[in-house]
Amino acid sequence: MRLTSFTDYGLRVLMRLAGAPDSAMTTGELAAEFQVSRNHLAKVISALSGAGYLETRRGGSGGAMLARPPEEIRLGDVVAFLETGQVLVECFSPGGAACTLTPHCRLKARLAQAEVSFLSDLNRSTLADCVYHPEISNPPDH
């Protein structure tokens, strides 16, 4: 399974903010740190805020912070939310029956189960398991 860059940056934002839970970070600061487009990251942060993962504030002391403790944020739930509308294969999309194998395909059900298993396995971990601490140059791999 390949995740979109939207999901990739969403997870990065959450991990980074979990590493500094008492500090708000602006979109510009995060974009500079990740070396990505500020506009793209603004969309990611807006989506995470709309889903209740982040709180955002405008102004001089503004920025984004986690809306709840990292122990309460399940990774599979985040990925499922950020990947909404992204289908694993074409036949999963509404009206996606262009495949000539569809009437007799035995792969579709297996792929659907694999996707469920993938998200379920991710949900065994929380954001707290993946906190990024910028002061640690080589964090251990878990």
| Ordered mean pLDDT values, 10 residues apiece, the chain (142 residues) | 90 94 91 94 96 90 92 96 80 66 77 90 95 63 54
DSSP the chain: ----HHHHHHHHHHHHHHTSTT--B-HHHHHHHHTS-HHHHHHHHHHHHHTTSEEEE-STT-EEEESS-GGG-BHHHHHHHHTTT--SSGGGSTT----TTGGG-SHHHHHHHHHHHHHHHHTTSBGGGG---TT-SSPPP-
Q: Which domains does the chain have, with CATH numbers?
A: 5-130 (1.10.10.10)
pLDDT of res. 21: 82
pLDDT of res. 124: 96
pLDDT of res. 105: 78
Quick one: CA dihedral 82, 86, 88, 94, positive or negative? positive
Q: Summarize pLDDT for 59-97 with one digit per residue, the tens.
A: 777 899 999 999 999 999 999 999 987 776 666 666 666
Q: Tokens at residue 98, please?
A: 């262009």
pLDDT of res. 55: 94
pLDDT of res. 136: 61
pLDDT of res. 106: 80
pTM of the model: 0.83
User: Whole-angstrom Cα distance, residue 106 to residue 81?
Assistant: 27
